[in-house]
Structure 1
């Protein structure tokens, strides 16, 4: 399979951002005097809902409260999310988040090989901009030919909309790109768009169903931080996923028929 572009999710994939998001949500809740505090365990479950505003809405809908109180809280959702984004951006700008092992290396290898990079994320554009500039410097945004964010599509992951948007903007068919994800919702989204997908789970997503992934690794790895049991287990050339080996491993994703799509909750 010839690869013309690599398409990356952001939260959990480029960087393990979820703890910062959780803290930012709780700070926003405190600012509004709501008395809510999402624990790590609780937040891990809430990640089944993609998108920050959608996550708050889902939480409010689950609360045993009167309809009038629920309506009042639902009206607060855009304000809560805006405040949460402000807290999160501040943490990112202060250097509180770093890229996961191997990410910067693989980005550079891919660009050096003449391939394009893209983002397909359910997070907001301001969060993506802050993370890329904080972790990759002034050229962070320039490295990516396409940055597709959640507010640009009608349906968020696990629907394929965001990956379809990235592919359309790149001018590519799915067999010419690969996706990188960390979650089952992200994997379902990428596979539904026809993309061969690499999964690198985190604490927040480990143990999920990744059977439709093309490759599952604990992280991308680096020469300075090689993957244990590699090469020889899933990789053959080195103890980290290089661009050359990615090209050798990648295969076009098998398209889902209508029955499979319905079963996986995509149709």
Structure 2
């Protein structure tokens, strides 16, 4: 094993969707299908806007702006139920992501800051065998504002008893990168091939990689 020289980084904060599991296309398929069943269709910017939104935010968007004739609470329950069913059928883990989590966890403290609902976070971590790897797990539904606001990252860092300067964030989406950057963490970007981040969001990253498997303990140590 290669020794990693100590750095100023004490913890790594993971996003979930697009970093550990490849679900952005599943989310889009499920929500588009749900909207279509109610005789509505996505607005031109709906998909981009919803990436990073909390459960309360995206369900309100579908109900209030897209026009699904259900309350935001009903929309959330309907869609989350469908997503949970999809995860039970097959969990779309990104190749190598579980190994990366465990390798980084051997050297750094870990947290999770996700836009997924708590019920989905817990199910994914249990199915993937990762529940015990994270000291702190947070959903944006548990903080005042979803991504791109920095709330979920600031709360996760505080839960570790650290400062943003002590932490690295791993993100894939525009709103996630903006959130981590606004919170003051050192940012690693793993751009999604189907939903690439905007240029201004990608500029938040100190390191851009093609695959999560490139995020090794050595790569994290070199950031500082």
TM range (shorter): 0.7 to 0.9
CA–CA distance in structure 1, aligned partners of residues 52 and 167 of structure 2:
26
CA–CA distance in structure 1, aligned partners of residues 176 and 106 of structure 2:
27
Aligned to 1:111: 105
Change (3 A) 1:85 1:62: closer
What pairs up with 1:84-233 in 2 under 5 angstroms?
Answer: 84-98=79-93, 100-113=94-107, 115-134=108-127, 136-137=128-129, 140-209=130-199, 210-221=202-213
Name the SS of the counterpart of 1:16 in structure 2.
Answer: coil
> Displacement of 1:111 after TM fit?
2.2
> Displacement of 1:203 after TM fit?
3.2
Answer with 1 or 2: which has the greater Rg: 1
> Displacement of 1:132 after TM fit?
1.5
Say whether residues 1:34 and 2:26 are aligned partners.
no
Q: CA RMSD in A?
A: 2.5
Name which structure has the greater RCO, CA cutoff 8 Å, separation 6+: 2
CA–CA distance in structure 1, aligned partners of residues 186 and 161 of structure 2:
17
Aligned to 2:72: 77
Name the SS of the counterpart of 2:203 in structure 1.
Answer: coil
TM-score by length of 2: 0.85
Q: Deviations over 1:138-190 (max 9, x none)?
A: xx211110001111111111111111100110000112110000012111111
> Displacement of 1:53 after TM fit?
3.9
Q: Deviations over 1:27-56 (max 9, x none)?
A: 5446xx5124559x8764343562344234
Say whether residues 1:241 and 2:205 are aligned partners.
no
CA–CA distance in structure 2, aligned partners of residues 199 and 96 of structure 1:
22
- Give the unaligned 5+ runs of structure 1: 64-69, 222-239, 252-267
Say whether residues 1:19 and 2:11 are aligned partners.
no
CA–CA distance in structure 1, aligned partners of residues 92 and 73 of structure 2:
25
Aligned to 1:262: none
Change (3 A) 1:59 1:27: closer
Change (3 A) 1:36 1:204: farther
Change (3 A) 1:97 1:149: same
8 Å contact kept, 2:110–2:136: yes
Name which of 3, 10, 25 aligns with 1:4.
10
- Give the unaligned 5+ runs of structure 2: 1-6
Name the SS of the counterpart of 2:71 in structure 1.
Answer: helix
Runs of 4+ off more than 6 Å: none
TM-score by length of 1: 0.72
CA–CA distance in structure 1, aligned partners of residues 12 and 98 of structure 2:
13
Name the SS of the counterpart of 1:7 in structure 2.
Answer: strand
